[in-house]
Amino acid sequence: MTREIPAVPTSWGEVVDKITILEIKKKNMTEERALLNVEKELAMLSGMVENAIAGDPVLSDMKRELLEINSRLWVIEDRIREKEADRAFDEEFIELARSVYRTNDLRAAVKRRINIHLSSEILEEKSYKPY
């Protein structure tokens, strides 16, 4: 049974973040079926969002920044998985693991700036112990 896609309220930052992650997946994934799903979702989200945010150079810069941060996370996560597969829980592994939350903090800050810039009704809140 096919169900209608849910219309879920979310923040602009979350949507732009999702689009950048799908763009990274499209660039890096090779399995044909997965790639088709990624391309379909990317087209659907982009189609819903692009008209609403087109022509905004500040937003374009923030989207580019988010794409760069998420690309960095992609590489970090791949490297952590390689180290895990090799059971190499060394200093590099620890530094990679720490870089995940540091990089995610940068990501959250950009998403928040997007939300503020676009006057999003929903603002994602984070609460972590300081490091």
- For 31-81, the pLDDT digits (tens) are 999 999 999 999 999 988 887 778 899 999 999 999 999 999 999 999 999
Do the domain assignments include residue 18? yes
Mean pLDDT (whole number) for 98-102: 97
- What is this structure's pTM? 0.91
CB burial of residue 51 (10 Å; 0-12, 13-18, 19+): exposed
pLDDT digits 0-9 by tens, 103-127: 999 999 999 999 999 999 999 888 8
Do the domain assignments include residue 31? yes
d(CA 29, CA 112): 28
Do the domain assignments include residue 61? yes
Mean pLDDT (whole number) for 15-43: 97
Do the domain assignments include residue 101? yes
Q: Could you tell me if 69 and 103 are in contact, meaning their C-beta atoms sit under 8 angstroms apart? A: yes
Do the domain assignments include residue 43? yes
Do the domain assignments include residue 1? no
Domain count, the chain: 1
Do the domain assignments include residue 4? no
Which domain range does residue 113 map to? 12-117
